[in-house]
Amino acid sequence: MSQAYTTVLCIAGSDGSGGAGIQADLKTFTALNCYGLSVITAITAQNTLGVTGVYTLDEKCISAQFRAIADDISIDAVKIGMLGSSSIIKTVAALLRELPDKAPVILDTPLGSSGGRALLPPKSIALLKSELFPLATMITPNLPESAIICGMKRPPATKEEIEVVAGKLLETGVPSVLIKGGHGEGEECRECLLYEKEFFWFSSKKIVTQNTHGTGCTLSSAIAAYMARGESIPQAVEKAKAYTFEALQKGADYRLGHGSGPLHHAFRCWQ
C-alpha cells in the first residue's frame, strides 16, 4: 500500500538567491520530512546584498496556481509569506476559504526586507489584519513588525512590553501569536508565544554570524511543517526553533555571495 506524503503549501514570493521566500520554505519542508507545494505571489530580484526589485504577479495567476494544487492534492498545512499588495491579500483570503479541510495556517508578516525595502505597502497592513489574521492559526511577526502592526512608535523591548503587544495582536482574532526575537538586544534570542491565554517563552543563545538571510521565513515554515505532522502549537514552535537554531549554526561555516548569506537548511542530510 502506498504511503501518503505530509504536505505543506507555501504562498509567498520567490527569492532567486535561495535564502528566503519560497526557496527557503521548500528546503525547510523537505528537511523536516514534508512535501512542499508552492503558490508564488511575487518575484523578487535579490541576492545576499539586498532586494533590488519586486514584481507582484497577477491575481488570476495566483488563483490558478492555488486551485490547480487544491483540486488535486490534499494540503496538511499552509505557510503564507510575502504577499505584496492589497489585491493579493484579498485573493489569498478568498482562496483559503475554498479549502475543504481546516489545515493550520501559519501567517508570516514580512513587511520589509532587512535592507529596508518595503515588501508590503503600509496602507495594506489594515487589510492584512482584517482579512487574513482571522483565517490564520498563528501569526509570526518579528519585534519591529509587531510594533508596526500595532501602530507603536518603537518595537517592544522588555518581556512585559512584548507580552502586552502579543495580547494586542491576539485581539485581532488570530488564535495564537509568536513574536520572533531575533532583533532583540542581548546575547539571547527569545521568542514569545501567546496561545490559549498562556505565554510560552523559548530562548537560545544568539549565533554570531552574518548568514541570517531567511531566518524568519525558515522558522515560520518549520512551524508549519511540524504542525502538518500533528504537533501541538507549543511543541511545533519549540521544535521549529531548535531546527532553525541548528540551521543558523551550521550555516555560519559557509560562504555565499558578499553579504548576508543563508541558513544551512539541509544540514541534516549533507555529509
Domain locations along the chain: 7-251
Output the average pLDDT for the chain: 93
Residue-wise pLDDT tens digits, 204-255: 888 989 999 999 999 999 999 999 999 999 999 999 999 999 999 999 999 9
φ, ψ dihedrals at 63, nearest 5°? -65, -40
- For this structure, is 6 an active site residue? no
Taking alpha carbons only, the member of 17, 94, 32, 34 closest to residue 62 is: 94
List 34, 189, 192, 217, catalytic entry: 217
Q: Examine the pLDDT at 186 and tell me if it is beyond 70.
A: no
- For this structure, is 56 an active site residue? no
- Which CATH superfamily, name and number, covers 7-251? Ribokinase (3.40.1190.20)
List 56, 109, 215, 218, catalytic entry: 215
In this structure, which amino acid lies at residue 206? K
pLDDT at 204: 86
Reported confidence tier of residue 171, pLDDT bands at 50, 70, 90: very high
Strand arrangement, sheet containing 198-205: 50-56, 35-47, 7-15, 77-80, 105-107, 138-139, 176-179, 188-195, 198-205
Grid coordinates standing for 95?
Answer: 482562496
- For this structure, is 218 an active site residue? no
Proportion of the chain above pLDDT 70, given as a percent: 96
CA–CA dist 134, 173 (Å, integer): 5
Residues near 194 by Cβ (< 8 Å), separated by ≥ 6? 163, 166, 167, 169, 170, 176, 177, 178, 200
In this structure, which amino acid lies at residue 243? Y
List 129, 180, 241, 250, catalytic entry: 180
Taking alpha carbons only, the member of 185, 255, 269 closest to residue 213 is: 255
Residue-wise pLDDT tens digits, 125-135: 999 999 999 99
Crossing angle of helices 215-228 and 21-31, rounded to 10° = 40
Reported confidence tier of residue 115, pLDDT bands at 50, 70, 90: low
Q: Examine the pLDDT at 164 and tell me if it is beyond 90.
A: yes
Mean pLDDT of 256-271: 93
- For this structure, is 259 an active site residue? no
Cα 242 from chain centroid? Answer: 16
List 181, 216, 251, 261, catalytic entry: 216
Q: What pTM, to 2 d.p., does this model score? A: 0.95
